[in-house]
Structure 1
Amino acid sequence: MFAMTDIDIFQRLGLALLIGLLLGLERGWHERVYDEGRRVAGVRTFALVALFGGVLGWVATEVSPIILAAGLVSLAMLLVASYWISLGREDDVGITTEIALLLTFALGAASMLGPMEPAAAAAVVAALLLSMKTKLHLWVARMEQIEVSAVLKLALISVVVLPLMPDQGYGPGGTLNPHEIWWAIVVVAGLSFLGYVAIRLGGADLGMLMTGAFGGLASSTATTLSLARVVHAQPAFAARAAVGVLVAGSVTFLRILVLAAIFQPLLVAPLALPMGVMAGVGLAGAAAIYALSGRGRKSGERIEGVGNPLELVAALSFGVVLAVVLLGVHYLQQWLGAGGVYAAAALSGVTDVDALTISVSRLVGTDLVAARGVTAIFIAVSVNTVVKGGISLIAGNAALGLRVLPVYAVAIAAGGASLFL
């Protein structure tokens, strides 16, 4: 523990007091309906408990950590006795406030013993969780078995399996990295689940718009496939799904600029106009479709029968396709040299454009001139856009495809004109 000045001690005790007041405010407001004698703890009690933890944390640094442990045990025994008395008066007694008091003590001590920012952040998150009781219980009550299973599957593949994947290249030229490929699988699976949640919470309009906006940040191709499946099951949502598909594609155009800025700033200026034009056309088309289809419908209408919220099989298939594309890019570059970059761009665009954008960005300035790099990225984006239009038509239906394809065609033409003219 670092040496503390008097100012440090006062600042940390002040933070402990503020933490207690924050949590006590939430608990006091929650229990405001109870009589004074029936309340477990209010603002003053929480403030005192936090200050108690801070003072004992300070004393522990000067004397012995045993003092802090003894204080925690004493508080716990007091809370157990209080809970036992309450249980004798009422049949249904929760322990949320008691747990919150123990957490308040711990955060008060943490304010004194370590960095103040994590303790303050934990207090804010705890207060938020305490205030969301009704919403959290409502969400749990509305969950179905398939949704709980999806959460557990997503946790399994991301928290358990992903760290076990070796983070090194295998195969020709070290092209296949199991960790990176599995990470792509996690992204696709998570996107499918988030899109499902967005649609369940936001309804048809807001849900599909959210799916498009957030899906474009991860994988617009997977987003398009997910929304197309919704339309295939329920054709009435074609217009609203088209909005989500176009928004996802437009976000992808803008995301390419961000990747270029990170990996090769020389590409930002020549890419800004074509990518900006394509994004503008896509968003304008989405706005037009939304406006034209907005008459005579209920904005809060919900989508039923969306299907499995975690398309694990589809995500695994995406990982296989990604591995095939990575191998194809490797061999095309070997066989065709500089010209193979364009072929690799077209092949990569079938699934996604991020890998190609990053690869080209690293080549520009060494083995590839900027003009060829921009052309390669535009080819990948155009192929990917055509693929998403085809997915809308084939995996969805004609109503979806005939809305998406014309907008994408104009976007590609406008982007190409701005690039080459």
Structure 2
Amino acid sequence: MEDFEIFQRMGLAIAIGAAVGVERHWREKDEDDGSRTAGIRTFTLIGMLGGATGLIEHSITPPGGFSGIIIIGFLITLTFVFTLFQLREAIAEQNYSVTSVVAAMLTFAFAVVAVLGDMTVASAGGVTLVAVLAGRDFLHAAMRKLRWTELRSAVILLALTFVILPIVPSEPIGPFGGISPSRILTMVIALAAISFCGYAAVRILGSATGEIVGGAVGGLISSTATTVSNARRSLTEDLARPLAAGAISAGGVSMLRTMFLVAMLARPLTMLLLPVLVGGAATMLGYAYLIARRSAAEHPELSVKNPFDLVEVVKMALLLVGVGFLVRVASQFFGDGGLLIASALSGLADVDAATVTVTGMLSTLSPQTASLAIGLAVLSNTVAKAVYASALGTVRFGVHVWIASLLAIAVAGMCWMLVQLGEL
């Protein structure tokens, strides 16, 4: 380790301690000097101690590895001394928090990592530590507002994602490409995550704005899934207009996402599709904003009751996966010669698949044919979502989605004609 690197690593160790010390000192800034166990000076020194410990360990350890004895010894000593002083302060103030003790141990640990390990990991850990400490009031307020249904839903979502999904087979089962069990579960997780994000947005921002934000997030994942999810919710919750705004905004974001994919994968198609997709997206987002504003004026206190119903989520996932399977079956019968028909069928469930497929065939297709195939996928997807909205949701929900979809199709069609005529 060269001298410059030593100073750089020690500087990071001290900076980590100082950053934590600023937060701890600010938390007790009104206290008299000497009345707090640790402030900016103490935590800065803890960071320096961690860095010095790392240097000692590095200097006395032979090449090939670290024994860790020096680090463990200093950490135990620091923890014992710091806990002793923190205990005296806690007795005097009747305070039962152990946060400062753990913060001191982590500051020491990250300082050691800064000297002996990856500086990026050490700095990221230090910033995260400060963020958690500084977010105490927000986290405590969030916990006071947390409901059992929200906690249960979060646990289910985490279990599906990190416990069950890794052990579910990913190989497709059945003919025509089959159906992958992991794809079904992934769709379940996506639907549940969309519902949970929408629920959280409504709790934080209110029913009108929250549904638009939740829908926009859902549009980045799957606008079709968001529409189906919101349609089902509209049957049990008095949120037809806000839920429709969320589904419509998801459709608008989906068009923008398709435009982004085209720009990344097939730049020659950008100028042909940019006015069409942006025009359609702007129409849907504008309509969503208008009905959301009206909803906020009429129903200022609306809120959802449950982040997601797992049984309904599974049903919706099976529906979407089943539609995708039927589309693949139909596409195989049409063959490569029916690219436009296949793209339109693919759009019934997923626009991304058609977009990626068509852009990958650009070397054998004219830009007009390729852009038309993607446009048909977007068109069929927009119509399919309106059909899903009518079939699975309330009448009011379906009407709003249909109006927004037809307006977007009309605007996109006009833009397409102008592009073909060379006016745009």
TM-score for the superposition, normalised by structure 2: 0.88
Q: 1:48 aligns with which of 45, 50, 56?
A: 45
Which deviates more from structure 2 when the two are superposed, residues 185-194 or residues 380-389?
A: 380-389
The 1:183/1:228 distance shift into structure 2, 3 A limit, reads closer
Matched, 1:359 2:361: no
Q: Partner of 2:276 in structure 1?
A: 274
The 1:172/1:391 distance shift into structure 2, 3 A limit, reads closer
Q: Partner of 1:308 in structure 2?
A: 306
Deviations 1:352-383 (A, max 9, x none): 322232233333324x5543333332222222
Structure 1 Cα separation of the partners of residues 97 and 334 of structure 2 = 69
**For 1:368-407, what aligned pairs fall within 5 Å after superposition?**
368-407=365-404
Q: Partner of 2:96 in structure 1?
A: 93
Kept in 2: contact 1:260–1:268 (CA 8 A): yes
The alpha carbon displacement at 1:169 in A equals 4.4
Q: Partner of 1:324 in structure 2?
A: 322
Kept in 1: contact 2:53–2:70 (CA 8 A): yes
Deviations 1:93-137 (A, max 9, x none): 210011000010011111111222221122111111111111111
* Amino acid paired to 1:260: V
The alpha carbon displacement at 1:229 in A equals 4.3
Q: Partner of 1:335 in structure 2?
A: 333
The 1:264/1:317 distance shift into structure 2, 3 A limit, reads farther
Structure 1 Cα separation of the partners of residues 251 and 370 of structure 2 = 21
Structure 2 Cα separation of the partners of residues 172 and 365 of structure 1 = 30
- How many positions carry a matched residue from both structures? 412
Q: Partner of 2:65 in structure 1?
A: none
* Amino acid paired to 1:45: T
**For 1:178-327, what aligned pairs fall within 5 Å after superposition?**
178-235=181-238, 237-290=239-292, 293=294, 296-297=297-298, 301-304=300-303, 306-327=304-325
Which deviates more from structure 2 when the two are superposed, residues 27-36 or residues 385-394?
A: 385-394
Q: Partner of 1:36 in structure 2?
A: 33
The 1:252/1:296 distance shift into structure 2, 3 A limit, reads closer
The alpha carbon displacement at 1:87 in A equals 4.5
Q: Partner of 2:64 in structure 1?
A: none
Structure 2 Cα separation of the partners of residues 208 and 331 of structure 1 = 35
Q: Partner of 2:15 in structure 1?
A: 18
The alpha carbon displacement at 1:412 in A equals 1.1
The alpha carbon displacement at 1:143 in A equals 1.3
The 1:207/1:260 distance shift into structure 2, 3 A limit, reads same
Matched, 1:153 2:151: no
Deviations 1:222-273 (A, max 9, x none): 22233344544444x4443333232211111011122223444444333222
Kept in 2: contact 1:86–1:93 (CA 8 A): no
Q: Secondary structure at the match of 1:215?
A: helix
Structure 1 Cα separation of the partners of residues 297 and 320 of structure 2 = 42
Structure 1 residues without counterparts, runs of 5 or longer: none
Matched, 1:103 2:101: no
Deviations 1:130-178 (A, max 9, x none): 1111111111111111111101100011111222234444443645444
Deviations 1:266-289 (A, max 9, x none): 443332222122112222323443
The 1:330/1:387 distance shift into structure 2, 3 A limit, reads closer
Same amino acid, percent of matched pairs: 33
Instruction: Give the RMSD, CA atoms, in angstroms.
Output: 2.6
Structure 2 residues without counterparts, runs of 5 or longer: 62-67
The alpha carbon displacement at 1:394 in A equals 4.5
Structure 1 Cα separation of the partners of residues 335 and 391 of structure 2 = 35
Q: Secondary structure at the match of 1:365?
A: helix
Kept in 1: contact 2:56–2:70 (CA 8 A): yes
TM-score for the superposition, normalised by structure 1: 0.88
Q: 2:54 aligns with which of 29, 53, 57?
A: 57
Which deviates more from structure 2 when the two are superposed, residues 20-29 or residues 203-212?
A: 203-212
Structure 2 Cα separation of the partners of residues 296 and 174 of structure 1 = 49
The 1:228/1:168 distance shift into structure 2, 3 A limit, reads closer
The alpha carbon displacement at 1:49 in A equals 0.2
The alpha carbon displacement at 1:56 in A equals 0.8
Q: Secondary structure at the match of 1:188?
A: helix
